[in-house]
Chains A and B, each alone.
Chain A
Amino acid sequence: MSLKSIFGANTMSRFLLMRTVSGAGLVLVVCLATFVAVTLLPGDAANFVSGRSASPERLAEVRERLNLNDPVAERFFRWGLRAVQGDLGPALTSPRQVSEIIAPRLRNSLILASIAAALLVPLAVATGALAGALAGGSMDRGLSVISLVLLSMPEFFLGTLLAYWLGVKWHLFPPIALFDAAQGPWSNPAVLVLPCLTLVITNLGYPARIIRANVAEAMSGRVVLTARLNGIPERRIVWKYALRNCLAPGIQVISLTLLYLLGGIIVVENVFQFPGIGTLAVEATQQRDLNVVLGLVATITVIYALVMLLTDTLIILVTPKLRTLRF
């Protein structure tokens, strides 16, 4: 029975299948590369666990416990098998399981990132479309200078300023995200305000600029010119022709921005001491807890692959000429 007979001639399903396979491959390769990098370190995990002055017997014992004597391939295979079931093995610097440590942190980060994205995407589309529709005008130039300045600011700098002015000086929002990692930020939603604000401001410039460029391009196109000549109101032209035309690049830009958000979150979480995967990544790095680092890489890669899959699917759905294309 061929694949084609399972999925039929439906190009959409075939496309999704190919993308899923490629995404899975990506996760596999990234995890393998990280696993090897972490394994080939001078002094293995046993050294980190038991300290450099540990006796040879203790080292041997730890090595046995962590199965460090088995071949790398076998260990990766076993790690992968368990990882698929959500078990990322034991942490090196605390008596807990890696998945147990990552899960609440990941949820906190996802909450933060989702709120930031929910604010960021409409804001970027609105400012980008506005500037693009009025390309060359004073509004456009003003917005472009603002977006440039925002692009140029390191996240930690803006975060520190906001924490000081809005948190310490004016007492508007908590400058530190103090809440129990296990309870989650909803136990004190105010702690989300400043990290979200920082993420939105520093990540707004890039997608807004690109959407602006696309809208400006569409506005100078032949379709819009014809529409204008036919007396269709400008507002309708922007919405119906210009924006629709840049839907596909827009989605791509937004998905990229979401991935940038995932990176920006590392800095922002550390500025506000937000207990998410960003602070965890830094803690694990500093403590050389390589199992946690590996677990984080695996988790983030899966998220990346999912976002990419979703993006590609959306682009196909909104672009009529791609919908009928054969892959």
Chain B
Amino acid sequence: MTKTNRVRLSDRIFARFRENRARTPALAACLGAGLMIAGPWAALAETPQVGGTLRAAWVGGGAADKLDPTTWLTILELARISAVFDRLTKINENGKPELMLAQAMTPNADASVWTVKLRPGVKFHDGSPLTARDVLYSFKSAIGRGYFAATNFSMIDLQKSRMVDDLTIEFVLNAPNAEFDRVVSDASASIIKDGTTDFSTTAIGTGPYKIVNWVPGVRTELTRNEAYWGNPVALDKLDMIEIDDDNARINALLSGQIDLAVNVPPYFASQLEGAPGYSVAYGSGSTAPAFYMRQDKPPFDKAEVRQALRLAIDRKKCVEVALDGRGTVGNDLFGPSHPSYARDIPQREYDPEAARKLLDKAGIGELQVELVTAPVVGMLECATVFKESAKKAGIEISIRQISPADLYNTQSVYLQVPFGTTEWKGVSFQEMARTGLLQSSFANETANKNPAFDAAFAKAEAALDPAARNAQFAALQRSLWDDGGYIVWGIQTPVTAFSDRVGGYEGLAGAEVGFLPSGIGNLWIKH
């Protein structure tokens, strides 16, 4: 950064600010279409340079941080899982499954048995070869450990599934599932070594990076896996650093202490666009920040309360304020960029009068609730807007602010508080439902315990015709929209900021389709 640039930074910030206001509609049009990169230096295509260390900052989970790929709760853990482990498939930028460790995945006629051929010659970080035994063990142990896997893979009949030969597995399912190749793209389906039970100090996978050193809640040092089955990564070393505080993360980037920062608050994007030496990348915009109401806890056990709260939030203002206009309003549903999204359901609008009537009808009158949230990208800001807009409906929301590290702490907050904050990254409705809406789902944030819903979902999954399947999914989304426990107020465009030394970040920032960032192996650094 030259001296003149520094002096004029404030002017540039201001100019950029105005410019961005004008550009917002164009930005909104780009949503779902993939990645948008700002800054004059960003779009140059260059050949990756090999070597160097890249330091990247994520928001993490503090001392409760884990290496086990089935027990993840934060995006730092997800990013690390995708760096260290591979799955049989991954969801690509177009929302379609793409083969990773599997060389082929073929269903039988009614999609109740899937035969998986593994890629030959794949090696774990310790040099041992990948076999069908490891794959079967991975699923078995994932299901056994609970968390997301217990429901996400509940369709697998572990008794009947078997190893055909060293590189072939036959998955027998309890019920037909036409999307099994999507199911196994989940982070919990990361392939671990046969017999692994301990993740307390390190983790061994087949992924592009190997763990050198891991300090929970502080940093993970990774190095290139030379024996990677795909193209080995360019970086000698990748330091994944946990910085939960937004201000600290940005300061670290601007002072050159790190090269990349994820989850940049939207209002910072304009500052960074104006600053020479930095680029900002906007993800594909299917991250859904939301509030959840637990339907088993009063007053949220009353459908009218949930409906009233959904009407009492000024979504447009939330997007304006919390996302700095970089996003679109949400319709209490997940996965707008996926084919299964129920596009016919009308957009819910802010209607405090209707909300008040609903509460009167239920005989509640004045409603007082406590909303638990944390200062991460727009959540606290939106909660503040919510508090303000709900007043007009006679609802008094008190906000309890906790630390970002605590948001997904199952011991104190997550799945405990009646009215909380969450965020679902890029998943489709069916992936989200499996993880969070079935009776047995681990992340059943809204305490959705509805046998009829479960049965209808199982039926939909078995439908072989995609159109019929999506129609059934749409009906389920309608019921979620009507009286579920979610308030999905916005669809966010995740902002990732980089120093100009970083190359190959397009994949990392853009691949917010599915939970896992898939482009982490493409990063490189100029040196």
Contact = CB atoms under 8 A, between A and B. Distances in A.
Touch A–B, Cβ below 8 Å? yes
Interface in B195-222: 200, 215-219
Contacts of B217: 94, 283
Nearest to A166: B255
Identify the interface centre among A48, A51, A53: most chain B CB within 10 Å of its CB.
A51
Most chain A beta-carbon neighbours within 10 Å: one of B200, B248, B255? B255
B410 A51 contact: yes
Contacts of B254: 168, 175
B287 to A, nearest CB: 24
Interface residues of A, number: 36
Contacts of B9: 169
Contact of B411 (A93, A101, A174): A93
Contact of A273 (B216, B243, B405, B406): B243
A80 interface: no
Interface stretch (A3-11, A113-121, A176-184, A227-235): A176-184
Interface string B405-443: 110011110011000000000000000000000000000
Contacts of A176: 243, 248, 251-252, 255, 257
Contact of B255 (A92, A171, A181, A182): A171
A220 interface: no
B63 A91 contact: yes
B501 interface: no
A13 interface: no
A181 B251 contact: no
B218 A53 contact: no
Contacts of B252: 174-176, 178
Contacts of A287: 62-64, 405-406, 409, 411-412
A292 to B, nearest CB: 9
B359 interface: no
Given A52-B416, A53-B416, A275 B257 contact: no
B245 interface: yes
A289 B411 CA distance: 10
A167 B245 CA distance: 16
A171 B6 CA distance: 11
Given A176-B248, A178-B252, A182-B215, A101 B416 contact: no
B256 interface: yes
Contacts, number: 90
A110 B418 CA distance: 41
A178 B251 contact: no
Nearest to B244: A273
B344 to A, nearest CB: 36
Contacts of A49: 411
Contact residues of B: prevailing secondary structure:
loop
A273 B216 CA distance: 15
A130 B255 CA distance: 38
A163 B245 CA distance: 14
A48 B412 contact: yes
Interface string B382-418: 0000000000000000000011011001111001100
Interface in B247-273: 247-248, 251-252, 254-258
A167 B409 contact: no
A75 interface: no
Contacts of A14: none
B241 interface: yes
A282 B63 CA distance: 12
A268 B114 CA distance: 57
A164 interface: yes
A95 interface: yes
Nearest to A163: B251
Nearest to A282: B403
Contacts of B402: 286
Nearest to B219: A180
A181 B214 CA distance: 12
A198 to B, nearest CB: 14
B255 A174 contact: yes
B268 to A, nearest CB: 12
Interface in A53-103: 53, 91-96, 101
Given A95-B200, A176-B243, 11 more contacts: A52-B416, A93-B62, A167-B255, A174-B257, A175-B255, A176-B251, A178-B257, A180-B219, A182-B215, A282-B403, A287-B64
13 contacts: A93-B62, A94-B217, A101-B63, A169-B9, A171-B1, A171-B255, A176-B243, A182-B215, A273-B245, A273-B248, A282-B403, A283-B405, A287-B411
